[in-house]
Amino acid sequence: MAAPERTWVPIEPGFFTIPSDRKETPRLLGSRCAACGEVFFPRRPICARCLGRETVDVPLGPRGTLYTWTYTHFPLFGSRRADAGGYGVGQVDLPEGPRVQAVLSGGPGAFRIGMEMELELEVLRENSKGEEVVIFRFRPVVEPGGAK
């Protein structure tokens, strides 16, 4: 019998969904301006485009297009080498309009501009209640060479 799944809690509330079925894809939580229709991530009560004061919550993604990327070898700015490898960082254009900057899953050779990306959740650590704290990231929908 498999060990029971631990409860997932977001690193900060209000940025992404945590589906009750872990096989389902999470969504980002955005806002649409009630006046001009512009869409934002993350949520904001005041429209950045027309300054309207009414926005409505909308789920975004979960897929988008990779606008740019890098692979970071030195997590600590300008100082010392990382203990444990590096990580990808990118900006993903969502079909609704926002460009989202996030960590990417995959090695340094996994990314190319224009590729399709999908949102996923990553467990960062355990909190004092024994729950797992999760953050969002993007992964390539088709990884080169089929490698995972």
Does residue number 58 form part of the binding site for other proteins (CB under 8 A)? no
Q: Is the peptide bond before 13 cis (omega within 30 degrees of 0)?
A: no
71: which 2 tokens?
């692979």
Minimum Å gap between C-beta 138 and other proteins is 12
The residue from 52, 67, 139, 143 that contacts other proteins (CB under 8 A) is 67
- Answer for the pair 138, 118: CB distance below 8 angstroms, yes or no: yes
Binding pattern for the stretch 106-145 against other proteins, x by CB under 8 A and - elsewhere: --x----x----------x----------x----------
Whole-number minimum distance, CB 65 to other proteins, in Å?
11
Q: Are 116 and 63 in contact (CB under 8 A)?
A: yes
148 is written with which tokens?
A: 């995972």
Q: Is 103 in the site for other proteins (CB under 8 A)?
A: yes
User: Which range, of 1-9, 52-60, 95-103, 139-147, touches other proteins by CB under 8 A?
Assistant: 95-103
- Position 100, amino acid: V
- Strand 63-72 to 116-126 pairing: antiparallel
| 53 counts as binding other proteins under rule CB under 8 A | no
Please tell me the distance from the alpha carbon of residue 56 to that of residue 33, in angstroms, as a whole number: 7
- Based on its alpha-carbon atoms, the radius of gyration of the chain, rounded to whole angstroms, reads 17
**What residues line the site for other proteins (CB under 8 A)?**
11-12, 15, 38, 40-42, 44, 48-49, 67-81, 89-91, 93, 97-103, 108, 113, 124, 135
